[in-house]
Structure 1
């Protein structure tokens, strides 16, 4: 199968970089090929003088989109995990996280997750235990990437029940 070479083939995969990182790397490579040096500028979300246009909505997920959607899936799974899981469900959930960490498309993220799972394995004794464990894990990642931490006391409100102000009600 032929595919168009990516400017990141020798640096990072698409799943390991954000769209803005991708645009900067592409521009940097193009500028280097044209003998241009200096800082990369421009808004990657809009058309700019360099000829780059807004990213299509049906492109492969970048690191940021993949992370956001993955966390959404994981938190929703934890929110719907049984209050009193069977032994088989506990085993399956632990297995799921270990397999997820093996196949996650961003290899840097996957390696980090595998290390975290060794230090603090999934807490699968109940819905509350799993949701709280996942929230703490997510917050560890948020700290590493410079994002705000989430108040884990609100995890079920966020991912299962909806906000108390009714803003999620239909």
Structure 2
């Protein structure tokens, strides 16, 4: 069942959280007017526009892409301030991620495994491990963390990104 927000202050009480479910699941929960064709009470599946709010899967893909890119471009030897700021970023990020169950899960994970922000390589590896933790929970394949910079910064060694 999709997550629902119970925030009456903004009028979203008991509405399904689009950011917490995939589009098909979310679409099934929406009230739609059926077409009045004699003998038929079915409605056609909704046409998905390109400019719709992101669903859980789209937010996740975009977020991981951004975070891995950020990690691969992080300074090789960050200053103490940069390291502290990145740690703060992840703690704040985990509080405001739009999918509440995902946010809570990530908050718990980074309490157990605090951000490793002392170097680019340590940070990229830490983030890859966090992503793999999520992938395992979702039944998805894990990623070889030794290849994060190849995937997110330098391009594949076979030249297929050139």
Match of 2:98 in 1: 105
Query: Is 1:127 the equivalent of 2:120?
Result: yes
TM-score, normalised with respect to structure 2: 0.83
C-alpha separation between the residues in 2 aligned to 1:85 and 1:158? 21
Asked whether the equivalents of residues 116 and 126 of structure 2 are also in contact (C-alpha less than 8 Å), the reply is: yes
* Unaligned residue ranges in structure 1 (runs of 5+): 31-48
Match of 1:158 in 2: 151
Q: How does 1:17-166 map to 2 (within 5 A)?
A: 17-26=21-30, 50-166=43-159
Asked whether the equivalents of residues 16 and 29 of structure 2 are also in contact (C-alpha less than 8 Å), the reply is: no
C-alpha separation between the residues in 2 aligned to 1:21 and 1:59? 15
Residue 146 (structure 1) shift: 1.2
Count of aligned pairs between the two proteins? 145
* Unaligned residue ranges in structure 2 (runs of 5+): 1-10, 33-41
C-alpha separation between the residues in 2 aligned to 1:157 and 1:11? 41
C-alpha separation between the residues in 2 aligned to 1:143 and 1:167? 28
CA RMSD of aligned residues (A): 2.1
C-alpha separation between the residues in 2 aligned to 1:149 and 1:12? 29
> Which of 12, 17, 23 is residue 16 of structure 2 equivalent to?
12
Residue 11 (structure 1) shift: 5.7
Residue 144 (structure 1) shift: 0.7
Runs (4 or more) in structure 1 with deviation over 4 Å come to none
C-alpha separation between the residues in 2 aligned to 1:23 and 1:61? 12
Deviations 1:131-168 (A, max 9, x none): 00000000000011111111111111000100111111
Residue 51 (structure 1) shift: 1.3
Deviations 1:103-132 (A, max 9, x none): 111000100010011000000110000000
